[in-house]
Amino acid sequence: MYEGTDFYCDVAIPAPRLLDVVHESDEVLAFHHTRPFWRHHVVVVPKRHIASFTTVTAADEPVVRELLAVVQQVARRAEEKHGEAAVLTNLGRYQDSKHLHVHVHSGPQRESSTITS
């Protein structure tokens, strides 16, 4: 079990081959959550470290634009396939992994899962 503070920089981005990848570009990675909280649960992250949605700067704009475009694509596919989708990001104490990431999910919550992100 991972016990660090930035799962994305430490594990996901360096080793995407270990993940069920939905999208990968030079700047953004999207993959099925390793411990999904909902039946359908994808996480979208920038490949370079940005701590949080609230720390985004003007210099981050190109990466964040691409991130949001990927979130939109993933959410659209989820909505088309499952009839519903939600988009969520956590901040402050809600944010287990201190790296900007966006959850796209649909379907009911899984009973035995807890979010680690």
- Write out pLDDT tens, residues 18-36: 999 999 999 999 999 999 9
pLDDT band (50, 70, 90) for residue 117: very low
* H or E element at residue 65: helix 61-82
Summarize pLDDT for 47-105 with one digit per residue, the tens: 999 999 999 999 999 999 999 999 999 999 999 999 999 999 999 999 989 999 999 99
Please classify residue 3 by burial: count the beta carbons closer than 10 Å to its beta carbon, then call 0-12 exposed, 13-18 middle and 19+ buried.
Answer: exposed
Please tell me the pTM assigned to this model: 0.91
Q: Which residue has the tokens 């009911």?
A: 108
For residue 45, the one-letter residue type is V
